[in-house]
Chain A
Amino acid sequence: MAKKPTKKSQGSRKARPAARISTRRVAARPAVQADAAIPSANRTKTRSKEKGAMPGKMVMIYIMGKQYQVPEGLTIQQALEYAGLRLLRGCGCRGGFCGACGTVYRKLGDHKLKVALACQTVVEDGMYLTQIPFYPANKATYDIENLSPSLEAVVTNYPETLRCLQCNTCRKVCPQDIEVMQYMAAAMRGDIAKAADLSFDCIMCGLCASKCPGDTVQYHVGELCRRLYGRYVQPKAKHLERRLAQIKAGKFDKEIAELAKLELADLKKLYDSRDIEPEDAEEPAETTAGSSGDVND
């Protein structure tokens, strides 16, 4: 997605019309630029202070339209903090898993809106940023025990699913690059397994729903399909069932009680001499299952 640099985005900062941007804000920033610390959440204050780590180049970003200068190389999230904001909304795991920091941005001189996770994306010069930390999408409430893995479960809970226009906008805005439209298509065919599989990496940021012209709630449909798949389509683990019966019958109670009574030296000896399943061991087949799990085997 290479962008043609426009005159505006190439132009130096002072070339921009002063009326459009707050130059006073920039003028007030030299003190910031002299700050040694880069507010990286995953870097510590003391360390940054000691090091005086200061990358040379600064970039200009616009947080909800307001201009700030920040060092290049920071994530969008770190840049917001560098600019002086203390985050409450729009910040969760800081590691790309929770979907709290869905961000919509546009580059100066480009009409195209893009999306990113603020914690995973490095700032670029001329970014106009806003976060979508919450989206008021419809979430159905259902009893997973009373559903079947079928199209019916999808359309009863989310009838709007059928309004999908197949425009693929959801795919284009997904920061996880998930084939959103494809899994919605699978859900509409009642192919729960496929919908579950394709939607698996979803972090539920909701950006898909925010751009959907049909008001569908892709990320909630994906969640429903994954639960239906795990609950009804994946076969139950037989070995788990056997183990539960053994636990219920108290099979391990005595063994564990004996371990708990052992002198420390004896427990250590047992631990140090326990056999370890080789990394490349073939797992015993389901049919040959015996009880060879005892510590003393």
Chain B
Amino acid sequence: MAPEPTQDPYPEYMRKSMEQVSASRSRRMAEEFPRLTADQKSDILKSFHPDHRAGKMVEIKVGVSKGEKVPEEVEAVLQAYSRLDAKAFDLGRIDFDVDVLVIGGGGAGSAAALMAQEAGATVLLATKLRLGDANTMMAQGGIQAADKDHDSPTRHYLDVMGGGGYHNLPELVRALVLDAPVVMDWLQDLGTMFDKRENGTYVTIHGGGTSRKRMHAARDYSGAEIMRTLRDEVRNRGIQVLEFTSAIELLKDDQGKCAGAVLYNMETEEHFVCRAKTTVVATGGAGRLHVQGFPTTNHYGATADGLVLAYRARAPFIYMDAIQYHPTGSIFPAQIEGLLVTEKVRGLGAQLVNAGGEQFIFPLETRDVVSSAIIRECKPVDEKGRAKGLKTLTGRDGVWLDSPMIELKHGAGTVQKELPAMFRQYKRTNIDMTKDPILIYPTQHYQNGGIRIDADAESGLANLYVAGEASGGVHGRNRLMGNSLLDILVFGRRAGKNAAERARTTKIGALTLGHVEAYHKELRGLGVAPDRLSPMLLPDYRTPGTKERQKGQVPLAGRV
């Protein structure tokens, strides 16, 4: 049993603001904040969304998507040299020889591995942390699927397109919405415990931007329930898994096809050559790059490694300049700063209110719009710098998410039943979210774009498949809630199945790291400093003081 703090974490000035929030609550219960028009949405995005902040998106100066814009933190890992001495590295020693190599052990990677194995392929799954250490595990809200009679995949399609700003690739959206019920059926057969009524009907609720209640949840452990089930199944089927082993470079063959990867055992620091007829990159997103200094909801390993590898091997990007900020990241108390407060809290009726206890946005607008509205609300409104938001003790901005409305609306006990993880997270800091509202601010949540794929989940590089957050196109420039758990399973399954099928007819030629050498040549031409290496593998949260004291070691021999 973990210790429980007894002090009231809220300082007095917050308590004062909370009084205003509770004073307006009964009135607000009956109020619905008007939804924004299309023009209003576009205005608020342009003025307040972090993606539009001047100077924060920079052009990539190297590689196949040269000229496209990415956040400067992403550029930093792209404009960097390999961790491998490509010229000297011996590709003659093949350590693993498989049909399908899956890189990444989250939901997409596990789904791909299961489907590839089912299709008869020999599969190796390599993952940097443990199998299941992934954002999938942390997804709380749910998964979208138009499987009810008053809903339809067509309607789901329209919601996705509108939510994505109409930038979505139609063939991918089509695959997403038509596979969604298939995925729910697969999960049902695997024995996941989704919320159902007694007759088997799924309990579904709204998410931001849905026109029908189509969010399926497993309490608020939706992603965890999917991930632990897939992990169990991967183990039951005896699929070979290498944990604490990252891929640090993709391999190609002499005809330019993707042909596996160089794997790196993070504990022993050994390198292994994995020759694979086809490769699936399912390495997830980039939250741990902390774009624009935002906190993140992402897991420890979300450092964009797969993007770096695929990009060096000349797989093009799409929409890498569209980052999703989850509107409701926890911002107080400090020890849970950045953690996700699931959209389901708003789905169940909690409103967003400012320090004065007034609503300022309809709570279920799309995520980009809600995030922008919160950022706007926290901007100073007078010369004294006063804003309608609150400042936390660490100087962070925030607004209230009026969580006590949930039980007023749905009855006592609803929060513990529907949001046990959320309730527990706050209870550990001595906050009872059924009685007191919680402070939130947008947090870096998702990479809307990524490596461009087609409906078969194949990238622009032959025999390289990409699935999940590392891929791009299906969500346009803004993903809707519940479409990520869906995306990883739809395209994870497609990637695995298609990779296995392709493996049957593929002949691998001589292995090469020539693409890395070519990339290095471009970097040297730009004068990129030789100490810039990527992929990052893991973030480094040690203090500057520690790093200072670590100096003085003999440097590693020149790598480039």
Is B384 interfacial (CB 8 A cutoff)?
A: no
Q: Is the CB of B170 within 8 A of A260?
A: yes
Q: Is the CB of B138 within 8 A of A97?
A: yes
Whole-angstrom CA separation of A44 from B177 in the bound complex: 37
Chain A window 245-284, contacts with chain B (Cβ cutoff 8 Å), 1 for yes, 0 for no = 0010000100110011000100110111011110101011
A98, A121, A264: the one contacting B166 at CB < 8 Å is: A264
20 examples of A-B residue contacts, CB within 8 angstroms: A39-B543, A42-B295, A42-B296, A81-B542, A92-B137, A92-B299, A92-B301, A230-B191, A235-B198, A242-B149, A247-B178, A255-B154, A267-B161, A271-B161, A274-B155, A275-B211, A291-B152, A293-B154, A295-B154, A295-B158
Q: Is the CB of A203 within 8 A of B538?
A: no
Whole-angstrom CA separation of A177 from B177 in the bound complex: 38
Q: Is the CB of A237 within 8 A of B213?
A: no
Q: Is the CB of A247 within 8 A of B428?
A: no
CB-CB contacts below 8 Å: B131-189 with A: 132-135, 137-138, 146-155, 157-159, 161-162, 166, 170-171, 174, 177-178, 181-182, 184-185, 188-189
Q: Is the CB of B228 within 8 A of A51?
A: no
Chain B window 222-238, contacts with chain A (Cβ cutoff 8 Å), 1 for yes, 0 for no = 01110011001101111
* Complex contacts, B38 vs chain A, CB 8 Å: 268, 272
Q: How far is the CB of B432 from chain A (nearest CB, A)?
A: 15
Closest to A103 in B: B2
Q: Is the CB of B154 within 8 A of A75?
A: no
Whole-angstrom CA separation of A234 from B199 in the bound complex: 8
Q: Is the CB of B3 within 8 A of A1?
A: yes
Is A141 interfacial (CB 8 A cutoff)?
A: yes
Whole-angstrom CA separation of A295 from B420 in the bound complex: 35
B146, B148, B162: the one contacting A271 at CB < 8 Å is: B162
Closest to B267 in A: A88
* Complex contacts, A88 vs chain B, CB 8 Å: 244, 266-267, 538
Chain B window 413-449, contacts with chain A (Cβ cutoff 8 Å), 1 for yes, 0 for no = 0000000110011001000000000000001000000
Q: Is the CB of B193 within 8 A of A226?
A: yes
Q: How far is the CB of A24 from chain B (nearest CB, A)?
A: 14
Chain B window 308-344, contacts with chain A (Cβ cutoff 8 Å), 1 for yes, 0 for no = 0000000000000000000000000011111110000
The segment from A14-22, A56-64, A112-120, A209-217 found at the interface with B is A112-120
Is A124 interfacial (CB 8 A cutoff)?
A: yes
Is A6 interfacial (CB 8 A cutoff)?
A: no
Is B544 interfacial (CB 8 A cutoff)?
A: yes
Q: Is the CB of A260 within 8 A of B174?
A: yes
Is A190 interfacial (CB 8 A cutoff)?
A: no
Whole-angstrom CA separation of A277 from B204 in the bound complex: 12
Is A129 interfacial (CB 8 A cutoff)?
A: no
Closest to B195 in A: A234
Q: Is the CB of B541 within 8 A of A223?
A: no
Q: Is the CB of B549 within 8 A of A121?
A: no
B2, B194, B236: the one contacting A141 at CB < 8 Å is: B236
* Complex contacts, B150 vs chain A, CB 8 Å: 277, 283-284, 292-293
Whole-angstrom CA separation of A293 from B543 in the bound complex: 55
Is A227 interfacial (CB 8 A cutoff)?
A: yes
* Complex contacts, A184 vs chain B, CB 8 Å: none
CB-CB contacts below 8 Å: B1-47 with A: 1-3, 5, 38
Is B493 interfacial (CB 8 A cutoff)?
A: no
Additional pairs, 11, CB under 8 Å, beyond known A42-B339, A53-B394, A94-B299: A38-B543, A39-B541, A51-B394, A116-B3, A230-B194, A243-B146, A256-B178, A260-B174, A275-B211, A277-B211, A283-B213
Whole-angstrom CA separation of A141 from B213 in the bound complex: 37
Closest to A279 in B: B206
Is A106 interfacial (CB 8 A cutoff)?
A: no
Is B349 interfacial (CB 8 A cutoff)?
A: yes
Is B540 interfacial (CB 8 A cutoff)?
A: yes
Whole-angstrom CA separation of A223 from B232 in the bound complex: 8
Q: Is the CB of B544 within 8 A of A293?
A: no
B5, B149, B290, B395: the one contacting A51 at CB < 8 Å is: B395
CB-CB contacts below 8 Å: A131-189 with B: 139, 141-144, 172-177
Q: Is the CB of B2 within 8 A of A175?
A: yes
Whole-angstrom CA separation of A84 from B300 in the bound complex: 17
* Complex contacts, B236 vs chain A, CB 8 Å: 141-144
Q: How far is the CB of B206 from chain A (nearest CB, A)?
A: 7
* Complex contacts, B294 vs chain A, CB 8 Å: 44
Interface residue total, chain B, C-beta cutoff 8 A: 109
Q: Is the CB of B299 within 8 A of A95?
A: yes
Interface residue total, chain A, C-beta cutoff 8 A: 111
B5, B181, B211, B233: the one contacting A144 at CB < 8 Å is: B233
Q: How far is the CB of A264 from chain B (nearest CB, A)?
A: 6
Is A289 interfacial (CB 8 A cutoff)?
A: yes
Q: Is the CB of B421 within 8 A of A200?
A: no
A84, A226, A252: the one contacting B543 at CB < 8 Å is: A84
Q: Is the CB of A256 within 8 A of B538?
A: no
* Complex contacts, A286 vs chain B, CB 8 Å: 199, 201
Candidate in A53, A115, A247, A286 with the most chain B CB atoms within 10 angstroms: A247
Q: Is the CB of B181 within 8 A of A240?
A: yes
Q: Is the CB of A247 within 8 A of B152?
A: no
Is A25 interfacial (CB 8 A cutoff)?
A: no
Q: Is the CB of A86 within 8 A of B138?
A: no
Is A108 interfacial (CB 8 A cutoff)?
A: no
Whole-angstrom CA separation of A45 from B294 in the bound complex: 10
Closest to B196 in A: A234
Is A31 interfacial (CB 8 A cutoff)?
A: yes
Q: How far is the CB of A247 from chain B (nearest CB, A)?
A: 6
Is A128 interfacial (CB 8 A cutoff)?
A: no
Q: Is the CB of A239 within 8 A of B395?
A: no
- Knowing A39-B542, A277-B212, A286-B199 touch, does A98 contact B185 (C-beta < 8 A)? no
* Complex contacts, A143 vs chain B, CB 8 Å: 236
Is B129 interfacial (CB 8 A cutoff)?
A: yes
A39, A117, A235, A270: the one contacting B158 at CB < 8 Å is: A270
Is A4 interfacial (CB 8 A cutoff)?
A: no
* Complex contacts, A173 vs chain B, CB 8 Å: 1
Q: Is the CB of A256 within 8 A of B420?
A: no
Is A208 interfacial (CB 8 A cutoff)?
A: no
Is B65 interfacial (CB 8 A cutoff)?
A: no
Closest to A245 in B: B181
Q: How far is the CB of A170 from chain B (nearest CB, A)?
A: 11
* Complex contacts, B530 vs chain A, CB 8 Å: none
- Knowing A234-B196, A239-B149, A271-B158 touch, does A73 contact B334 (C-beta < 8 A)? yes
Q: Is the CB of B541 within 8 A of A93?
A: no
Q: Is the CB of A44 within 8 A of B153?
A: no
Q: Is the CB of A98 within 8 A of B299?
A: yes
Closest to A203 in B: B224
Whole-angstrom CA separation of A226 from B262 in the bound complex: 37
Chain B window 193-221, contacts with chain A (Cβ cutoff 8 Å), 1 for yes, 0 for no = 11010111110101000011100000101
Q: Is the CB of A47 within 8 A of B158?
A: no
